[in-house]
Amino acid sequence: MTEQSEGWRAGDLAVCAVYGPWFNDGAAPIAGPEHDQMLRVACVYRDAPIGAGVCLALEFDEFPDELYPARDFRRIRPDHRPAADRRIVAMIKGIRVGAPV
For residue 78, is it within any domain? yes
Does a structural domain hold residue 3? Answer: no
Specify the pLDDT at position 4: 46
Instruction: Give me the domain span that covers residue 81.
Output: 13-93
| Other Cβ atoms within 10 Å of 58 Cβ, number | 27
Tell me if 60 sits within 8 A of 33, measured CB to CB: yes
Helix residue spans in the chain (DSSP H): 86-93
Cis, bond preceding 100 (omega within 30 deg of 0)? no
Rounded-to-integer distance, Cα 77 and Cα 3, Å: 12
Inside any domain, residue 60: yes
What is the number of domains present in the chain? Answer: 1
* Model confidence, pTM: 0.70
Which tens digit of pLDDT belongs to each residue from 34-90? 999 999 999 999 998 887 788 999 999 999 989 999 999 999 987 777 766 777 777
Whether residue 2 lies inside any domain: the answer is no
